[in-house]
C-alpha cells in the first residue's frame, strides 16, 4: 500500500465514522487523491519541516491557507518555543582546490553537535567502506577524516575509538529507520558526523582512486579499498557550524460547528503533526510524515462542506 493509498484509506474510515454516511460513493465525491498527493508532494519538497528551518514556516503558511480555503471557523495559531539543532552550513575542501563540497551535519550526540573550530579541521580523507575492521586493515584512521557507507550500522563508533577526527556518511540509495537511528548516540561523544550527497561521494572516491598526486609525497599513504584498485588518501579541510537554538513552533486550530443543537456541544478532535524529523536535520523531507497532515487537510475540506452533527476541531501540530 503506497503513501497516498494509505492516506485515502484513513480519510474514508474517519469521514464515515464521524459523519455516519450510509453511501460511500457520497464521501468519494468530495475526496480527491490528487489533492492528497499534491499536499504530500508540496510538503516533502520543503527540504526540512523541522522547527528552526525555513520549511517549517512554509508548511505553517500552507496549512493556514488550506484551513481558510475550506471554510474552517475560529482559525487560531498557538506559538511556543522549542530548542532544536540548526545546521548553519558545512563543507569539505580538497587541499589546493577552490571548490567546496557541501556537507550536512547529522543529529547531535546528545548535546554535542558537529560544530568544528572556526578554523576548521584538516586530515587525510580515507574511504572506510562499511567500517568493518576487515575493511580498515592497512588504512590510516588516526587523525584522519573517514568517508563511510551510510548503511554501516554503528561501526562509526569504533572509528572514533581508533582516532578518527570526523565521519562523512555517503548518501545511500535506500536506508531504513534502524540505520538512521544508529548514527547518533545518547551520550555527548565528541566525533563530528556529516552526510554527503552520493554524486559528491562518488567524485571523492574517484579522486582517491586516480589522483594520488593530490597528497604531498611525505604523507602519502596507500590504503586497501574494498573491491577496487588500491587508492590513496587526499588532504581535505572541513568547516561546520550547528547550534542549538530556541525556535518558534506553531499549532494551528480550526473548527467546523456541528449541526445538531445538542450534539454540537460535544467536540471531536482530529489531530496530525506537520513537522518532520531526520538523522540529518536540514534534510528532512518527511514524505511519510506528511501523510497524516495531508489526510487532515482533506478531512477539513470534506467536513467544511458537510458539517456533522457534532463539532469538529482540526488541530495541526508542530514539533512532535
Residues 71 and 126 in one domain: no
Residues 57 and 126 in one domain: no
Residues 68 and 96 in one domain: no
> How many structural domains comprise the chain?
2
Residues 47 and 26 in one domain: yes
Q: For residue 27, what pLDDT is reported?
A: 55
Residues 91 and 223 in one domain: yes
Q: For residue 11, what pLDDT is reported?
A: 53
Strand, helix or coil for residue 125: strand
Residues 193 and 174 in one domain: yes
Nearest Cα to Cα of residue 59 among 250, 292, 246:
250
Reported pTM: 0.85
Q: For residue 14, what pLDDT is reported?
A: 53
Question: Residue 48: which domain range?
Answer: 3-83+244-317
Domain boundary among 196, 213, 243: 243
Q: For residue 210, what pLDDT is reported?
A: 76
The enclosing domain of 235 has a CATH number of 3.50.30.30
Q: For residue 225, what pLDDT is reported?
A: 41
Residues 261 and 230 in one domain: no
- What is the DSSP code string of 206-255? HHHHH-GGGS-GGG--EEPPTTS--EE-EEEEEEEEEEEEEEEEEEEEEE
The enclosing domain of 301 has a CATH number of 3.40.630.10
Per-residue pLDDT of the chain (320 residues; tens, 9 = 90+): 454 444 444 454 455 545 544 444 455 567 899 999 999 999 999 999 999 999 999 999 999 999 999 999 999 999 999 999 999 999 999 999 999 999 999 999 999 999 999 999 999 999 999 999 999 998 999 999 999 999 999 999 999 999 999 999 999 999 999 999 999 999 999 999 999 999 999 999 999 987 554 444 433 333 344 444 444 569 999 999 999 999 999 999 999 999 999 999 999 999 999 999 999 999 999 999 999 999 999 999 999 999 999 999 999 999 99
- What is the DSSP code string of 19-51? H--S-HHHHHTT--HHHHHHHHHHHTTSSB-ST
Amino acid at each position: 500500500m503506497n503513501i497516498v493509498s494509505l492516506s485515502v484509506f484513513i480519510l474514508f474510515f474517519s469521514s464515515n465514522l464521524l459523519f455516519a454516511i450510509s453511501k460511500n460513493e457520497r464521501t468519494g465525491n468530495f475526496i480527491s487523491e490528487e489533492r492528497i498527493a499534491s499536499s504530500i508532494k508540496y510538503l516533502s519538497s520543503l527540504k526540512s519541516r523541522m522547527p528552526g528551518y525555513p520549511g517549517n514556516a512554509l508548511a505553517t503558511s500552507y496549512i493556514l491557507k488550506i484551513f481558510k480555503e475550506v471554510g474552517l471557523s475560529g482559525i487560531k495559531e498557538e506559538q511556543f518555543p522549542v530548542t532544536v539543532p540548526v545546521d548553519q552550513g558545512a563543507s569539505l575542501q580538497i587541499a589546493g582546490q577552490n571548490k567546496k563540497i557541501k556537507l550536512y551535519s547529522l543529529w547531535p550526540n546528545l548535546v554535542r553537535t558537529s560544530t568544528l573550530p572556526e578554523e576548521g579541521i584538516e586530515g587525510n580523507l580515507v574511504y572506510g567502506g562499511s567500517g568493518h575492521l576487515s575493511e580498515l586493515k592497512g588504512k590510516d584512521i588516526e587523525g584522519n577524516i573517514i568517508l563511510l557507507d551510510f548503511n554501516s550500522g554503528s561501526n562509526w563508533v569504533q572509528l572514533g575509538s581508533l582516532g578518527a577526527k570526523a565521519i562523512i556518511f555517503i548518501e545511500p540509495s535506500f536506508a531504513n529507520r534502524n540505520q538512521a537511528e544508529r548514527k547518533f548516540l545518547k551520550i555527548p561523544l565528541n566525533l563530528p558526523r556529516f552526510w554527503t550527497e552520493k554524486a559528491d561521494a562518488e567524485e571523492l572516491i574517484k579522486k582517491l582512486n586516480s589522483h594520488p598526486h593530490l597528497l604531498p609525497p611525505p604523507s602519502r599513504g596507500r590504503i586497501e579499498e574494498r573491491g577496487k584498485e588500491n587508492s590513496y588518501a587526499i588532504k581535505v579541510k572541513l568547516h561546520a557550524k550547528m547550534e542549538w537554538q530556541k525556535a518558534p513552533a506553531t499549532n494551528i486550530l480550526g473548527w467546523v460547528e456541528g449541526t445538531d443543537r445538542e450534539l454540537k456541544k460535544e467536540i471531536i478532535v482530529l489531530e496530525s503533526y506537520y513537522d518532520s524529523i531526520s538523522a540529518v536535520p536540514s534534510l528532512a523531507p518527511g514524505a511519510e510524515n506528511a501523510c497524516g497532515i495531508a489526510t487532515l487537510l482533506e478531512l477539513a475540506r470534506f467536513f467544511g462542506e458537510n458539517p456533522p452533527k457534532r463539532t469538529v476541531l482540526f488541530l495541526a501540530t508542530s514539533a512532535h
